[in-house]
Structure 1
Amino acid sequence: MSDLPETPERIIAPVPRITIQAFCETAETAGLIEAAGDDRRMQKAHIKVQMGGGPAAVEAYRHAPTPNVVIIETQGAKAKPLECLDALAEVCDPGTKVIVIGHVNDVSLYRQFIQRGVSDYLIAPVEPLSLIVALSDLFTAPGVKPVGRTIAVFGVRGGIGASTVAHNLAWSIARGQGTQTVIADLDIAHGTASLNFNQDPPQGIAEAVFAPERLDAALVERLLSKCSDNLSLLSAPASLDRTIDVSEAAFDGLVDHLRAAVPCIVLDVPHQWSAWTKRVLVGADEILIVAGPDLASLRNAKNLFTALQAGRPNDRRPRIILNGVGVPKRPEIGAADFAKALEAPLFASLPFEPALFGAAANNGQMIAEIQPGAKAAEIFSDLAAALLGRPETRRARGTLLEPFLEPLRARLARRKAS
């Protein structure tokens, strides 16, 4: 039977461009399948739901070709599921995969289904994400490495520091978590990733976006600029030689190639609201929203939550970071009030430290390289661990050692006093 739904340790691969037809016996199952069809991972698939169960499927395919996947709901022995599957086998085209949704948890029945070539057997009621897992697994070859995780970073207004957060996050994932990571700068006209990482690559993301017919794994590999052992950069040209009018699906192929090659991809999404930016955000495995402690940021964050929710019904809500907190003499919305108004917890608040962030930007370095013990560096480290579903080892280690360090501190204090 199907694997468990998506977890922090496992990312569900998007379902490929296939046709799926479902024949249901209950309105509840039909509704669940339709809900699954609205999920972002089903974006490329075409799904059609109708009633009638197995007999309707057999009748439908007597004089019509079968789709890539047929989903049959059966309510038990009275529906004669085995006889129905035998009849369906006579009209199914070679290569068609069959998923059965049943209401009986019977291992013997499951084995008989598998013997007849059924690809998977799910027990009703089926959660949309469980069905998506089953469909995804049908087209994932055994032994293929897991699909990479995409993390989209987006600022609720211009100049809020989202790119700085994205770059430091990618660096922390690569360095602190030991995970191969790509930072992809999607701001083709004004991207700053190459400056922040002190790189000057001759090629970058524009070559992939403006010539999609040339896009393949080899080209993507050539476009990546190596920043460190685990971190690579897909830079933006930051040129105004041409206007940037790309289609809604302009980045789909590039992201697919990166997901197949790298465990983690951080997408630095520019602050603009277009068809392609919305598509990139909705399609990401994790979304990190960067806001400021002000009314405009709060309004924009609330609007963004609403806009993304419809396309991500089975996903975690975006994580929120307040940036530039504590500007002297500036009235601010407190973190608790911001979270209450947004009806969502904040992950962290980055302090206003212009000297530290300015030095890092001018030197082409990350915060942890300039000042490893800075609060901001710790926040990026914790965020990297949280997004990968790993424990925050830095804090855990400090907590465990605390009882042993306290006596040593006391002895040192007594020596200084004497």
Structure 2
Amino acid sequence: MTFPESGEIQPGTTSNEEIVAPLPRITLQAFCETPAVAAAMQGVVADRRMDKAHARIQMGGPAAAVEAFRAAPTPNVIVLETVSDPATLVANLDALSESCDAGTKVVVIGHVNDVQLYRDLIRRGVSEYLIAPLQTLDVLRTLSELYIAPEARHLGRVIAVTGAKGGVGASTVAHNISWAIARSLDASTVIVDLDIAFGTAGLNFNQDPPQGIAEAVFAPERLDANMLDRLLSRCSDNLALLAAPAMLDRTIDLGEEALEQLLDLLRASVPYIVLDVPHQWGAWVKRTLLGADEIVIVAEPELASLRNAKNFIDLARAARPNDTGARLVLNQVGMPKRPEIAAAEFAKTLGVEVLSTIPFDAQLFGTAANNGQMIAEVQAGSKANEAFTQIASALTGRGEARRGRRSLLEPLVSKLKRRKAS
């Protein structure tokens, strides 16, 4: 938080687009005094970013914390809400400090908007002072920043792409989105093919690397930044691929946390990570999808896709209340002689906007697939390529920023042209 030199503290703001890093395996205890802050802390504990943390919430405020830890070890983080006057709060903190273990971090949530109090608390070793009322993401951001080094604050955004059912072209969409982010929006990107047995990313990018996702997943004890760098296959200046072996010599029975170390390493080193998530359902698939910063559901305009997409979107709404909802992309729209559900009806039924519709073009997509090329390489001016660029812009926010900068220059350019003409 940034505080002005004098006067009141300005409450921070946050948005669902902000990347808040997941917390490590810590213990946390919160001592609240009002139902509103207790409810906010319940929302924090239920958030996906707290999956590894063990948290407990109770009422009583700082006085209860002092009593609780007189003869008990303190957790990694103590969150204290106070409604008392500053002198009482300071007295409780002094008493708490006598039993605090080394390394315990204390976050205070108060109702007094005062810079001097903040400075007094920081001098006493309090990690942060937040002002109620506050949002769930305000607390999550603060807790996350307690464990992230300043040089690692800019974490990569994970975009998970999956199909509402098999055969809807989700892999093709994921690969072309990656290409658009890397080439059209000029951002470093890694595409990760999670379909270990049948993945097509290597074929679509015309790559045949000897190593890939299997080495990262099946030997996690060896995985580090150097090994990951060796496993990545370079597709272009800004795009790297973690390919699937597409071999059936072993079954794929991954544990729920099988991808966590890999994703942590990618987040720390690459601005954008696109996951090509196979159409299957297991604990690791569910955890990967719900743990991503963005979820993209690819569907065809027909009934089975509508039902399955609704299930995905409802799950995301329930499990990720503090995140952007799952995005919907309609693929293969306008297939000849096929009855289709209109995009507007699709959106109305699901209660979400259709992020983009990609037209059916068997010739274009077939040529790209057989040549190991992206749609932009085959026909850059196609409507499909425009759709991929639009999706990439929406998921990253970079396209809007670029358009904004160009529009600011337009009056100057026009003025210079008029001067030259005269």
| Alpha-carbon distance in 2 for matches of 1:5, 1:276 | 29
Q: Do residues 219 (structure 1) and 227 (structure 2) align? A: yes
1:357/1:65 Cα in 2 relative to 1: closer, same or farther (>3 Å)? Answer: same
| Alpha-carbon distance in 2 for matches of 1:196, 1:32 | 45
C-alpha deviation, 1:78, in angstroms: 7.3
Partner residue of 2:255? Answer: 247
Conserved 8 A contact 2:16-2:322: no
| Alpha-carbon distance in 1 for matches of 2:383, 2:269 | 33
Partner residue of 2:8? Answer: none
Partner residue of 1:137? Answer: 145
Cα deviation, 1:193-239, whole Å, max 9, x if unaligned, reads 00000000000100111111111111111110011101000000000
The letter of the residue matching 1:212 is P
Structure 2 counterpart of 1:5, from 10, 14, 19: 14
Partner residue of 1:257? Answer: 265
Conserved 8 A contact 1:294-1:333: yes
Write the mapping of 1:17-416 to structure 2, written as runs, cut at 5 A: 17-77=25-85, 80-392=88-400
The letter of the residue matching 1:322 is L
Unaligned stretches of 5+ residues in structure 2: 3-11, 415-422
Q: Give % identity.
A: 61
C-alpha deviation, 1:143, in angstroms: 2.5
Cα deviation, 1:49-90, whole Å, max 9, x if unaligned, reads 111111111111111111110001100317811111111111
State the SS of the aligned residue for 1:178: coil
State the SS of the aligned residue for 2:398: coil
| Alpha-carbon distance in 2 for matches of 1:276, 1:78 | 47
| Alpha-carbon distance in 2 for matches of 1:158, 1:377 | 22
C-alpha deviation, 1:160, in angstroms: 0.3
C-alpha deviation, 1:329, in angstroms: 1.4
Conserved 8 A contact 2:31-2:79: yes
Large movers: runs of 4+ above 6 Å: 393-396, 398-402
Number of matched pairs: 403
| Alpha-carbon distance in 1 for matches of 2:127, 2:199 | 46
* Worse overlay, 316-325 or 136-145: 136-145
| Alpha-carbon distance in 2 for matches of 1:264, 1:201 | 21
State the SS of the aligned residue for 2:305: helix
| Alpha-carbon distance in 2 for matches of 1:227, 1:350 | 24
| Alpha-carbon distance in 1 for matches of 2:410, 2:341 | 36
| Alpha-carbon distance in 1 for matches of 2:178, 2:219 | 26
Conserved 8 A contact 1:295-1:333: yes
| Alpha-carbon distance in 2 for matches of 1:208, 1:394 | 36
| Alpha-carbon distance in 1 for matches of 2:86, 2:146 | 28
Conserved 8 A contact 1:6-1:12: no
The letter of the residue matching 1:66 is T
Conserved 8 A contact 2:185-2:399: no
C-alpha deviation, 1:35, in angstroms: 1.2
C-alpha deviation, 1:28, in angstroms: 2.1
| Alpha-carbon distance in 2 for matches of 1:66, 1:399 | 54
| Alpha-carbon distance in 2 for matches of 1:272, 1:39 | 24
Unaligned stretches of 5+ residues in structure 1: 406-418
The letter of the residue matching 2:65 is A
C-alpha deviation, 1:401, in angstroms: 7.3
CA RMSD of aligned residues (A): 2.0
The letter of the residue matching 1:273 is W
| Alpha-carbon distance in 2 for matches of 1:156, 1:218 | 35
The letter of the residue matching 1:237 is P
| Alpha-carbon distance in 2 for matches of 1:178, 1:391 | 10
Partner residue of 2:6? Answer: none
| Alpha-carbon distance in 2 for matches of 1:399, 1:261 | 32
State the SS of the aligned residue for 2:98: helix
C-alpha deviation, 1:6, in angstroms: 4.7
C-alpha deviation, 1:29, in angstroms: 1.4
C-alpha deviation, 1:148, in angstroms: 0.7
1:144/1:304 Cα in 2 relative to 1: closer, same or farther (>3 Å)? Answer: closer
1:358/1:400 Cα in 2 relative to 1: closer, same or farther (>3 Å)? Answer: farther
C-alpha deviation, 1:310, in angstroms: 2.3
Query: What is the TM-score of this pair, normalised by structure 2?
Result: 0.92
1:355/1:394 Cα in 2 relative to 1: closer, same or farther (>3 Å)? Answer: farther
Cα deviation, 1:318-373, whole Å, max 9, x if unaligned, reads 11110000011111001111111111100111000010001111111100111110
Partner residue of 2:419? Answer: none
The letter of the residue matching 1:355 is Q
